[in-house]
Structure 1
Amino acid sequence: MNSAKSQSFPKATSFDAALVHSKIMGPNPLKLCEELLHDVHIPCGVRVCDLGSGTGITSALLAREYGFDTYAVDLWSDPVENRAFFDSLGIPRNTIHLLRRTPHRGSRLSTTILMRS
C-alpha cells in the first residue's frame, strides 16, 4: 500500500493487509469505519455496539485503535474463533465483549452474552 493511502486511513492500514483480506466480505470495512469516524470526537472508553460484527475485524479496530469498550454482536460468527482472533492481536479481553443473537420461538430474538473476559 502506498504512503498516501496509508496516510488517508492510518488506523485502518495499521492492520496487516493479508489479515484484512482474510476477514472481509466486501468493501474494506476498516476504511469505511474510519471514514465514518473521521472528525467525530468520541472519548476513549465509550461503550459502542458493532452490530453485525461478523469476523470481528471492525470490532478490533474500534477497540484497538479508538479505545472503545466494544460489544461485538453477530448472529452467525463463532465467538470462540473471534476471541482467538482478538487475542492474537493483543487486544485486552475486557475491551471486546462478544454477544450472539439467537432466534427463539416465534419472531422474538434474545441476546445471550457468550464471553465477557
Structure 2
Amino acid sequence: MGPNVIWLTEALTGVMTLEPGMRVTNMGCCKAISSIFLAKEFGVEVWAADFWVKPTENWERIREADLDG
C-alpha cells in the first residue's frame, strides 16, 4: 500500500498545525494506521474512509486501539 504511512504522516504533521479536538479527514486511509496515529498523537477527531478496505475492518482496528469514543 505504498511508502511507510507513519513516515508520510509525520512529514505532513511537521508543516501542519494540529490541536486536540480538531477534525481531520483522511480520505484513502487504507488500514486506518495514519488515522489511529493522528488521533493518538494529536488528540484530533479523524473521519476516515477508503474505497478498498471495508469500514468494518478499519472499525475493528480503531476499537483495538481504544479509539472507539
Give the TM-score taking structure 2 as reference length: 0.86
Which structure exhibits the higher relative contact order, with contacts defined as CA atoms closer than 8 Å and separated by 6 or more residues?
Answer: 2
- 2:35 maps to 59
Which contiguous aligned blocks of 4+ residues in structure 1 show a shift greater than 4 angstroms?
none
Q: Structure 2 CA distance, aligned partners of 1:87 and 1:49? A: 18
Q: How much identity, in percent, do the aligned residues show?
A: 33
TM-fit CA distance, 1:31: 1.0
For 2:8, the aligned partner's letter is: L
Q: Structure 1 CA distance, aligned partners of 2:54 and 2:16? A: 31
Give unpaired runs (5+ residues) of structure 2: none
TM-fit CA distance, 1:76: 1.9
- 2:56 maps to 80
TM-fit CA distance, 1:73: 1.5
Secondary structure of the corresponding residue to residue 31 of structure 1: helix
- 2:2 maps to 26
Of 23, 42, 47, the match for 1:71: 47
Alpha-carbon RMSD: 1.3
Q: Structure 1 CA distance, aligned partners of 2:15 and 2:30? A: 26
Q: Which has the higher strand share?
A: 1
Task: Give the count of matched residue pairs.
Answer: 69
